Amino acid sequence: MVLAAGEYEIGRQTGRLLVRTYRQGVAARVGHDLLIEATVWEGRVTVPADPAARPAVSVRVDLGALKVLEGTGGVKPLSDGDKQQIQQTMHKVLKVDRDRDATFTSSRAEVHDDSAIIEGELTLVGQTHPLRLEVRQRDDATVAGTASLVQSQWGIKPYSGFFGALKLRDAVDVEFTVALPGS
């Protein structure tokens, strides 16, 4: 990755942070795969001038400001009321009243030509565990990446309904795109 050295403030003004959930179980047809956006988040990317030094990333996400954008699949489209209900359920599952923020802090970065693997610690619902980000440079100033987050590793019990016949898959996908200003 060839980004200009410097400190970059990132957040909603410079990019998007999305979560994709997937349904499973015998009643999966009635549920929806969800696209959720973090509407309040901020962070910092440090690209060192010394090529031997590694970049650093830190991000804070307000879990209380997650917003359901859309649901695909299911027997009927999601209504605004359905989205509101899902957001209330997310607040309970993520224990937003107790630990409102999720934070990621990098500890290691392996940089290649136009990609990087960034490893670090994610603190979510009061637990901290390793998380690996796969990042690609899209152009001179834009990076995009993904991570797979297994909820149960953080003590989160994936949502289930209809007496367990409809379940949320334990692994959710996190996707982000960020423009690094002035790079």
pLDDT score of 165: 66
pLDDT tens digits, residue range 48-106? 988 788 889 999 999 999 999 999 988 889 999 999 999 999 999 999 999 999 999 99
Averaged pLDDT for residues 105-123: 94
**Distance between CA atoms of residues 149 and 73, nearest Å:** 22
Token pair 């209504």: residue = 79
Q: Strand locations in the chain, DSSP E? A: 6-11, 15-21, 23-24, 33-38, 41-47, 56-62, 66-72, 101-111, 115-124, 127-137, 142-150, 160-161, 166-168, 171-179
Higher pLDDT, 63 or 159: 63
pTM of the predicted protein model: 0.92
Averaged pLDDT for residues 110-119: 91
pLDDT score of 2: 65
176 burial class (0-12, 13-18, 19+ CB within 10 angstroms)? buried
pLDDT score of 164: 63
pLDDT tens digits, residue range 14-44? 999 999 999 887 767 778 899 999 999 999 9
**Which CATH superfamily does the domain covering 6-179 fall into?**
Lipid/polyisoprenoid-binding, YceI-like (2.40.128.110)
pLDDT tens digits, residue range 160-173? 776 666 788 999 99
Confidence of residue 1 (pLDDT cuts 50, 70, 90): low
**Distance between CA atoms of residues 54 and 39, nearest Å:** 29
Domain assignments of the chain as residue spans, ordered by start: 6-179
User: How many CB atoms lie under 10 A from the CB of residue 155?
Assistant: 12
